[in-house]
Amino acid sequence: MPHCYWLITDESRCNVQTLHDKAPFIACRRAARAVVPATSLSGALDPDALPRLSEHFGQLLFAGAGSHVAGCGHSQRTDAAQRGCGAAYAQQIPLSTLNFLTGAT
């Protein structure tokens, strides 16, 4: 990743299994070695996995239902790190935006 400035991965559901050598996590580790920030885009985000995921991904964007950040109870515009949720930054985004970013139809 010598010419990369930002890694964006996508997955249908980001959870603890993501950290078990699934492709997004392998790419994230490689990005970390190259000092490249990593963002995860997912359809859903498991709030129980948020602390562990945030150790590796700088941003966690998801299109799950509801208006809370990863189930922690804060509004979707809240910086979760400042509120002690354990994430560097987790934000819910509209499904249409996720589909646009990932090329899904």
Q: Is the pLDDT of residue 4 over 90?
A: no
Least confident segment among 5-9, 25-29, 46-50, 97-101: 97-101
Q: Can you give the pTM of this predicted structure?
A: 0.66
pLDDT tens, 45-98? Answer: 888 888 888 888 888 888 765 333 444 444 443 343 344 444 445 666 676 766
Location of structure tokens 């790190």: 81
Q: What is the pLDDT of residue 29?
A: 92
Q: State the first-to-last Cα distance of the chain, in angstroms, to the nearest integer.
A: 29
Q: What is the pLDDT of residue 63?
A: 79
